[in-house]
Amino acid sequence: MGSLTFHDEACGFEAVRRPEHVPCVRPPDLCKAIACMPPYLLQYLDPHHAALFSFPSLDAMQKLRVQSTEICTLDLSFRGDYAVLGTHDARIHLFATSTGLPVVTYTLPSSPSTAIALVEPSRWGNSAIDAPPLVLAATADMLVRAAALPGEAPVR
């Protein structure tokens, strides 16, 4: 078991911040232990859970749970609107960072993901692009998959 602690070089590398003690186990090979996209930080906790913290204050916000097989990769979306958890059953689970609730689960047509990225629609000028999020996944069979998530664009 371990926990997340921040050390500051300006303070002689003394521990300066740590979230409320949330024990975690070592993530599987190729899985990140943490992902950060301010104002959020996502931490691997155990095979079925990840914790979402505010950043940089490290206040605990949500505990995310996947009910399928174990988490094999995690990340935060480009703008931080979504936490993205990949599992060994070749699924990608999206959670809204604002609520911690699941938004959609996407099944990859091949093997589990080894790395994932999610890009939300953006705004160009004064108009929003009406498009669903785009998921990019590197999979264990050494392919890179790109797909617009099915359904309507999630509401922000």
Residue 155 has pLDDT above 50, yes or no: no
Q: Using pLDDT thresholds of 50, 70 and 90, give the confidence band for residue 154.
A: very low
* pTM summary value: 0.79
For residue 155, how many C-alpha atoms fall within 13 Å in the half-sphere facing its CB? 1
pLDDT digits (tens, 9 = 90+) for 68-93: 789 999 999 988 889 999 999 989 89
Of 44-48, 64-68, 134-138, which range is least confident? Answer: 134-138
Taking each continuous run of H as one helix and of E as one strand, the counts in the chain are 0, 15
The helix/strand/coil state of 58 is: coil
Residue 105 has pLDDT above 50, yes or no: yes
pLDDT digits (tens, 9 = 90+) for 10-61: 777 777 666 665 667 888 887 888 899 989 999 999 999 999 998 888 888 9
13-22, 61-70, 127-136, 137-146: which has the highest mean pLDDT? Answer: 61-70
The span from the first CA to the last CA of the chain, in angstroms, equals 35
Share of the chain residues as helix, strand and coil, in percent rounded to the nearest 5:
0, 50, 50
Measured CA to CA, the distance from residue 76 to residue 42 in angstroms comes to: 7
Residue 9 phi, psi (nearest 5): -60, -40
